[in-house]
Structure 1
Amino acid sequence: MENGDSYTDLKNYQLVITSLVAGAVAGALAKTTIAPLDRTKINFQVRHETYSAKKAWNFLVTSYRTDGFLSLWRGNSATMARIIPYAAIQFTAHEQWKRVLGVDVDTEKQDDPERRFLAGSLAGVTSQSMTYPLDLARARMAVTRGQESYSTLIQVFATTWKESGIKGFYRGYIPTILGVVPYAGTSFFTYGTLKNKYKEQFGEPSAVANLVFGACAGITGQCTSYPLDIVRRRMQTANITGGEYKTVYGTLKKIYKEEGLKNGYFKGLSMNWIKGPIAVGISFASYDYVLNLLRTILKSSSFFTPKDL
């Protein structure tokens, strides 16, 4: 395992708990850092308005002047409610899937790119499936104003249930899963591969090196799945924006017809090249740091290692 070579004497439940905690911290820190950019991107993704850096900046300035500084983090409570369990589950699932597939454990399998990619993809599918309603809530909060019926997480859930029932919580789920397979697979694959290559040449990487590896993982991951990210946002917020986005194919066709290839499928991608590397870099680097810190504490403290467990 990438983060467990020197912690083989820890029990499996300790490995799982430390991974959950480190993942939660990493996700919360990364998403809070880029929350204003994330909100801006979502607003352009769900509307027909063309994207540009100037318009994105104007949106941030207008939000600040109209609703105050904290409005830039509107929807971040829903993001935190989602990202903390999501990141915790994703990183932990990744470790467990690597263990099942023999990645970074079995000498003959650890350099198998297909297994490394599959472990990342399965981790993404696992975490996304378990937290999807919270992702939908975050998107709806990001594109509405504070005085509307989507101002709090509870209101989002209540309104969604009233309007669409249980199916409403999984609107856009299929494009999300289709997108998360290449995104998570590529991200974890890129980060793990770069980190292992560095270790072979120079030894254990520093936090700065991990940040760079994470940034590279973020760029490659975003480029593989961005059009499907557009599709899921349109489907998630269709009841708010008024668009007819009911199926993946229908949404792709409608976007292309009305907005074209570049302005439709890749709207806001340039912003993702800024926020993606920052978020993923912080996420991976902070995860490794917190994970190793927690496991070092556990390994050196008999208080946390009861013999009867």
Structure 2
Amino acid sequence: MYVCYGGMQFVAYRGFTQLQHQLPSAVKDRIPNSAESFISGAAAGAVATTATYPLDLLRTRFAAQGTERVYPSLRSAFRTISRDEGARGYFRGLSAAVGSIVPYMGLFFTSYEFFHTHFAALQLLPLSSGDAAAGVMASVLAKTATFPLDLVRKRLQVQGPMRTRYVHTNIPVYAGVWRGLYAIWRKEGLRGWYRGLTVSLIKAAPASAITMYVYERTLHGLMATSKEDNLWECYDAYSDYDDD
């Protein structure tokens, strides 16, 4: 899931960014850099989330299993969901996922570009780059702001006919995203919306740091390789001309 999601996310992000750069100057000049990053990040997150959502749903359901395995294998999970819930079962909670990922990725890339500019010269071990620090700060900010929707997404993913067989056998039934948020607030209070935030940040912050560090280093490496190839092409062309 992460291989597919990460690849689609960064391809879409650069694609939407380049698309905005191709807008007429009268329109492009009116879009602030922060808004450009937010739009590109939000659109990229929506595309990647929708395309890989069935895998995200399966990941959550496998994680919710206890000693009594609901799905003994990935193939069995696909077959059981298709039989008992139909095609719509693979996208249970998608609205919550898109609703959380759009502001999350928008905020993440907007804040990352901001922090990256200020931390560009910062040296951190072991990553030795401000890219990592910017990734951590952006992840903490975006994850905290959108966590309630992410919480509802995971609870909606374990709905369905198999919910009584998971580790938590008393999983409540939610009729939708907003009703789910309201039900959590009534039963658990405001703190209920942020249950598990600390663990989520411990996971997301270093993951974002490594992701952005590897992304920036790989991108710079590819750009350097491309420049070297262009230089060799110019050298070869000059050599041919010199021989003539």
Instruction: Please report the TM-score for the alignment, with normalisation by the length of structure 1.
Output: 0.64
Name the residue aligned to 1:272: 200
2:94 aligned with 1:94 = no
Which one scores higher on RCO, CA 8 angstroms, separation ≥ 6? 1
Greater CA drift, 222-231 or 287-296: 287-296
The answer to whether the 8 A contact 1:207-1:289 is kept is: no
CA 1:110 to 1:290, structure 2 compared with 1: closer, same or farther past 3 Å?
Answer: farther
Aligned to 1:286: 214
Report the RMSD for the aligned CA atoms in angstroms.
2.7
Match of 2:180 among 251, 256, 269: 251
Contact 2:123 2:129 in 1 (8 A): no
- CA separation in 2, counterparts of 1:124 and 1:160? 25
- Residues 276 and 113 (structure 1), Cα distance of their counterparts in 2 relative to 1, 3 Å cut: same
Cα distance in 2 between the residues matched to 1:92 and 1:228: 25
Decide whether the 8 Å contact of 2:122 with 2:130 is kept in 1: no
In the other structure, the counterpart of 1:188 is 109
Structure 1 residue runs of 5 or longer lacking an equivalent are: 1-81
Q: Deviation string for 1:84-112 (max 9, x for gaps)? A: 11110001111111111229xx8946853
Q: 1:220 to 1:270 in 2, by over 3 A?
A: same
CA contact under 8 A between 1:149 and 1:159: conserved in structure 2? no
User: Structure 1's 189 and 148: CA in aligned 2 closer, same or farther, altered over 3 A?
Assistant: same
Q: Determine if contact 2:122/2:129 at 8 Å carries over to the other structure.
A: no
Q: Distance in 2 between matches of 1:299 and 1:100?
A: 23
Does the 8 Å CA contact 2:95/2:177 hold for their aligned counterparts?
yes
Q: How does 1:170-209 map to 2 (within 5 A)?
A: 170-198=91-119, 202=121, 207-209=128-130
Query: What CA deviation, in whole Å up to 9, does each residue of 1:220-277 have, x standing for no partner?
Result: 1101110001111111012325431231122112212222220x21001112232221
Partners of 1:100 and 1:294 lie apart in 2 by 21
Aligned-pair CA distance for 1:155: 2.1
Cα pair distance change 1:120/1:289, threshold 3 Å? same
Change (3 A) 1:130 1:118: same
What's the CA shift string for 1:97-145, capped at 9, x where partnerless? 1111229xx8946853222211111111111111111110110011113
Residues 203/142 of structure 1: CA separation in 2 closer, same or farther (3 Å cut): closer
Is 1:233 equivalent to 2:154 in the alignment?
Answer: yes
Radius of gyration: which is bigger? 2
Q: Which amino acid aligns with 1:158?
A: R
The 8 Å contact of residues 141 and 152 in structure 1, kept in 2 or not, is answered as: no
Instruction: Confirm or deny that 1:160 pairs with 2:77.
Output: no
Offset, 1:197: 4.0
For 1:194 and 1:109, the matched residues in 2 are separated by: 22
SS at match of 2:183: helix
SS in structure 2 opposite 1:238? coil
Q: TM-score, normalised by structure 2?
A: 0.80
In the comparison of the two structures, how many residue pairs are matched? 217
1:219 to 140, 143, 148: 140
Partners of 1:146 and 1:136 lie apart in 2 by 20
Partner of 2:38: 117
- The alpha-carbon deviation at position 160 of structure 1 amounts to 1.1
2-side partners of 1:203 and 1:172: how far apart?
40
